[in-house]
Amino acid sequence: MNHYYIYYRVSANTADEAETLVRSMQARLACRSGIGGKLLKKRDNPGLWMEIYENVGEAKRFERLLVQAVDEFDLDMFLDGPRHIERFVGDYAPMAACDRDSAPPG
Regarding the domain delimited by 2-91, which CATH topology (the fold level of the hierarchy) does it fall under? Alpha-Beta Plaits (3.30.70)
Spatial CA neighbour of 7 closest among 72, 71, 52: 52
Q: What is the DSSP letter of 12?
A: G
Compute the average pLDDT of residues 83-98: 84
Map out the domains of the chain as residue ranges. 2-91
Provide the pLDDT for residue 97.
73
Q: What gap in Å lies between CA 26 and CA 53, rounded to an integer?
A: 10
Q: Which residues pair with 10 in a beta bridge?
A: 79
pLDDT tens, residue by residue, 14-64: 999 999 999 999 999 999 999 999 999 999 999 999 999 999 999 999 999
Q: Concatenate the DSSP letters of all residues of 57-90 into one string.
A: S-HHHHHHHHHHHHHHTTGGGGBSS--EEEEEE-
- The structure's pTM equals 0.84
